[in-house]
Amino acid sequence: MKKWKAAAAVLCLGIILTACSSDQEKEEQQEKPVPDLEIKVEEQENTAEEKNSGEDGSIEGSDEETGERREEIVVLDPGHSSVVAEGTEPLGPGSSEQKAADTSGTSGVSTGIPEYELTLTVSQKLKSELENRGYTVVLTRDSNDIPMSCVQRATVANDADADAFVRIHANGIDDSSVQGAMTICITEQNPFYPELYPQSRALSDDIINELCKAAGCENDGVWETDSMSGNNWSEIPATIVEMGYMTNPEEDQLMASEEYQNKMVQGIANGIDIYFGY
């Protein structure tokens, strides 16, 4: 993958400790108008009800249609939070290298929406869709004001004895022309759980391909790195989904729209289905 795009994900996930928690970025988030989350959640619940009732006819494999239950458990991790977890934690189990526990993330250059709000909105929609398909789904956080470190997020997945850990993020970079989606997983030489590489890579491939097919966005592929502590601490196959660039005005606007969010949700869910062989 292109180096500058890797650098963008670095910004989103805060490998560089200061990158995502600069005072400037915090000020920018505070100054920009933040849409009312309660209204958004309400709209989303209404949409889920419509889908459950089968009115739009587009949901396959829902409980109401087939009664099918699936044995797999999926943990979804909406990236970041409005209250950023403080301090540092090891890069992986037993590691002496420390990373920031969490970062504030990026925000929409056009919409002003903070990344943590977008990731929760999409994760809640994705939870409904996956439950309709028969999966058991757990969210690492279900509100915006809960601070969660990356290790805590991975611990939720580990404790749930989950089969897949899907972390939802959006990207940011200092170039408004950059757009596209990617997924991120560990390398084959991961110092912590290298045995998880083949499954994490397959999960990442399936999700990015289906996401881009459904949403029509640029496919930037899979970035393999062992610098993501939440992935390193996961004892189950894990991937980070960078849905698009909030620093690109068009992609920012798209990701904020109900229609595009539904496309992304369908794509990610389709990728999870393929990963599990459905």
Task: Give the footprint of Zn ion on this chain (CB under 5 A).
Answer: 12, 79, 105, 169
Please give the torsion angle defined by the CA atoms of residues 76, 82, 85 and 87, in that order, rounded to the nearest 10 degrees. Answer: 140
Q: How far apart are CA 43 and CA 257, in angstroms?
A: 12
The residue among 79 and 237 lying less far from Zn ion, judged by its C-beta, is 79
* Minimal distance, residue 136 CB to Zn ion, in Å: 25
Query: What is the per-residue DSSP string for 71-93?
Result: --EEEEEE---SSPPPSEEESST
* Cβ 126 to Zn ion shortest distance, Å: 16
Tell me how far, at minimum, the Cβ of 170 lies from Zn ion, in Å: 6
Q: How far apart are CB 72 and Zn ion at their closest, in Å? A: 25
With beta carbons less than 8 A apart as the criterion, state whether 195 and 30 touch. no
Query: 168 or 269, CB closer to Zn ion?
Result: 168
Residue 51 DSSP one-character state? H
3-class DSSP state for residue 57?
coil
Which CB sits closer to Zn ion, 105 or 244? 105
In the complex with Zn ion, which residue's Cβ is closer, 15 or 196?
A: 15
DSSP SS3 for 165: strand
Q: How far is the CB of 51 from Zn ion (least distance, A)?
A: 27
Pairing between β-strand 88-90 and β-strand 164-171 as defined by DSSP bridges:
unpaired
Contacts of 55 (CB under 8 A, 6+ apart): none
DSSP assignment, residue 114?
B
Is residue 208 within 8 Å of residue 272, measured between CB atoms? no
Is 12 or 59 the residue whose CB approaches Zn ion more closely? 12
Q: At what angle do helices 258-276 and 115-132 cross, to 10 degrees?
A: 50
CB of residue 142 to Zn ion, shortest distance in Å: 18
Phi, psi of 240 (to 5 degrees): -105, 130
**Cα separation of the two ends of the chain:** 29
Among residues 13 and 74, whose Cβ is nearest to Zn ion?
Answer: 13
Minimum separation from the CB atom of position 172 to Zn ion (A)? 8
Instruction: Give the nearest distance from C-beta 135 to Zn ion in angstroms.
Output: 24
Parallel, antiparallel or unpaired: strands 164-171 and 73-78: parallel
Nearer to Zn ion, 59 or 151 (CB): 151
Decide whether 78 or 134 has the Cβ nearer to Zn ion. 78
